[in-house]
């Protein structure tokens, strides 16, 4: 979690809120892309919250699997993440987002700038037709320190502990 001071009065304890980095970066996509915090993917069959949930469960399951030496469950977490990565493929993104003829390489920052430069009615129409299918996929390297801290402080205290998270990962694979 990142601490964000939501007002200008620093030191006022009533103005501090915790922000989940998975949600934070998905709502600040341009900065996330610029800083290498993740990639944009074409995934109309998932909501952004579902992507975040899958990434979180996979990362926590991988963390606990490494902690207890369970390579099978660690592979399950890797598999979930590896199935999402190809959705950032240049060809998929160019075709799915209705890029101009002749565009053969996906440039997410250029795309974001182009969307921002549309008039409000054009932007709304484009997002209703095509942009609504773009999701942010966080980079797992960026999340590793946060997941480790989160797993130790929050998820370890759950009644099911590490084994419960590994079971969630197994069910997501259908085993």
**Residue 6 confidence (pLDDT):** 46
Q: Provide the pLDDT for residue 50.
A: 92
Task: State the chain's mean pLDDT as an integer.
Answer: 76
Q: What percent of the chain lies above the pLDDT cut of 70?
A: 75
Say how far apart CA 102 and CA 163 lie, in whole Å. 50
Contacts of 88 (CB under 8 A, 6+ apart): 39, 40, 41, 42, 106, 137
- What's the total number of domains in the chain? 1
Do the domain assignments include residue 26? no
The predicted structure's pLDDT at residue 47: 92
Q: Is residue 164 part of a domain?
A: yes
Alpha helical stretches, state H, 1-47: 21-27, 29-34
In the chain, % of residues over pLDDT 90 = 7
Res. 117: pLDDT tops 50:
yes
- Give pLDDT tens digits for 132-175: 888 999 988 888 887 777 766 655 555 555 555 556 555 554 44
Task: Tell which wins on pLDDT, 126 or 101.
Answer: 126
Per-residue pLDDT at 99 exceeds 80: no
Residue bearing the bigger pLDDT, 99 or 163: 99
pLDDT at 129 over 50: yes
Asked if residue 81 is part of any domain, the answer here is yes
Between 124 and 162, the more confident residue is: 124
Closest by Cα among 115, 112, 111 to 126: 115
Which of 32-44 are b and which e, b meaning 16 or more Cβ less than 10 Å from the residue's Cβ? bbeeebbbbbbbe
Contact yes or no for 25/137 (Cβ under 8 A): no
Q: Does residue 2 register a pLDDT over 50?
A: no
142 in a structural domain: yes
Residue 22 inside a domain? The answer is no
Residue 131 belongs to some domain of the structure: yes
Residue with tokens 């209703």: 128
- Reading the block at residue 5, the tokens are 């001071």
Distance CA 2, CA 150 (A): 12
Give me the domain span that covers residue 63: 39-173
Asked if the model's pLDDT at residue 9 lies above 60, the reply is: no
Q: What is the pTM of this model?
A: 0.71
Q: Who contacts 174 (Cβ-Cβ below 8 Å, separation ≥6)?
A: none
Residue 30 lies in a domain: no
Helix (H) or strand (E) segment spanning residue 41:
strand 38-42
Task: Answer with the residue of higher pLDDT: 103 or 7.
Answer: 103
- pLDDT for position 17: 64
């Amino acid at each position: 979690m990142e601490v964000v001071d939501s007002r200008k009065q620093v030191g006022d304890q009533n103005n501090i809120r915790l922000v989940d980095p998975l949600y934070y970066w998905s709502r600040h996509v341009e900065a996330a892309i610029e800083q290498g915090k993740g990639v944009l993917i074409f995934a109309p069959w998932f909501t952004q919250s579902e992507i975040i949930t899958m990434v979180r469960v996979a990362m926590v399951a991988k963390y606990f699997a490494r902690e207890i030496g369970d390579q099978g469950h660690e592979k399950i977490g890797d598999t979930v993440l590896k199935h999402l990565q190809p959705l950032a493929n240049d060809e998929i993104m160019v075709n799915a987002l209705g890029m101009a003829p002749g565009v053969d390489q996906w440039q997410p920052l250029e795309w974001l700038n182009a969307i921002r430069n549309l008039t409000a009615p054009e932007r709304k129409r484009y997002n209703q037709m095509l942009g609504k299918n773009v999701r942010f996929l966080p980079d797992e390297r960026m999340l590793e320190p946060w997941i480790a801290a989160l797993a130790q402080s929050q998820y370890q205290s759950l009644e099911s502990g590490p084994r419960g998270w590994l079971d969630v990962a197994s069910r997501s694979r259908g085993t």
